[in-house]
Structure 1
Amino acid sequence: MERRKEAGEIGEDLDPGAVLLLMGAVALPVVTPHTVRSVLGMDPQSSEFREFYTEQLRRIVRRLG
């Protein structure tokens, strides 16, 4: 992540560790689909889940800002 920051792929104002953690939230449904099923009762490959999760991530990021 530090190399990515140095290469300009991550903004100067962002902490590489924090970016990595956020990437984990985005990757979680792919890496551990059973967690999605257990927590949300949704199929992580369904369009219903993708639309729901995309909107929830947007809301979370907006509130953090």
Structure 2
Amino acid sequence: MEPSNHIIEDITKLTNTIEFDYPELYVFLEEIPVTISSPNHPQITDTILQDYLDSLKQLIKHYSKTNKTN
């Protein structure tokens, strides 16, 4: 089963946002090719992609909370 394109698009957009708006975070991304299967995950599912997307969102959220500029 192919993963949903909309999740992949959201991951791509958010990764680009991190790259350009939070370059200090970009270096910490473990850019694992989530669209390529691995021995641990021979099938990439929507759940795996959604978990990755959620982790990117949490990264930005946490960074924004802890690095407020006043």
Give TM-score, length-normalised by structure 2. 0.39
Larger relative contact order (Cα-Cα within 8 Å, sequence gap ≥ 6) = 2
Structure with bigger helix share is: 1
